[in-house]
Structure 1
């Protein structure tokens, strides 16, 4: 087993909680990067680029460590739905998802101390049931939707409206554990 430290390049409490399940000690260092979509960037390219940028930004300050970067986006009708800027935008996003299928794309990137990069992509199909306007208003009022791509957290009340999911539940939450564990095993950080 490699005796090097692991850093999670994310301030997300959900990612921290999920990575903790892998049983490898880590610290958290948030990365402050521009997460804007560039032009007509494809959703998968976007999440990989942002996950890489997060890892690189932290790796520059902690070059002797392994750094794990991740990003998750909700994609509806080919459009990336990021984190809502306000309550009105959150309501609009939830209306777009109501009664429809969408994709959740999660990327995870591991930079090793020598700068070697490995990465994985997780794509999950999620189908929402038809959501009532009164629930949308009540959910938005909780504030749970404001720091989440697509304005929902599947692990909270929004999970009550998920009719079907094909892929990675943890990828929808924000860190696909299967893919993350693959990267950690390949790097010798975990033995399982």
Structure 2
């Protein structure tokens, strides 16, 4: 009987130790498109809640083992949710995608007055054919005042007098190209060989 009682006490002690075991759940929250770390995002796991720091990091300590629903939120982003099983220390990388709030259409009427500062530079067909293997960003660097922001072997965003991305409008046969709104890793998806000429308008 003493041996049985001793074994029971040992098993009970192991069960209590296991029940008290806790783990750390940590990770980062970043933008889906350009991988920018998001500060002040709200992260919840079960009944616990915290916010990310300036580097997009969050951490929960002493989380008991179990199954939890993890939710991450940030202004102007779609909410993120997943089920997380905690049986050991967990590290997560969470990506949130920004969404555009829809508003009612607004029509603006006015008269454009030229200030005389608008400059148009044109690359004709012969110039395009000489540089047929180049992408748009590299091709436009042949124009004075235009440079390129290079983030990869073939990823170049045009830069005009220090402006790039959404500050520059690229129009292809009357259709505005959306790639300029995305991160620096997205170059304009345009084949320069499809055009007879390319116009760069400064000061428009």
What band does the TM-score fall into relative to the shorter chain?
under 0.3
Higher-RCO chain (CA-CA 8 Å, sequence separation at least 6): 1
TM-score, normalised relative to structure 2: 0.23
State which structure, 1 or 2, has the greater radius of gyration over its C-alpha atoms. 2
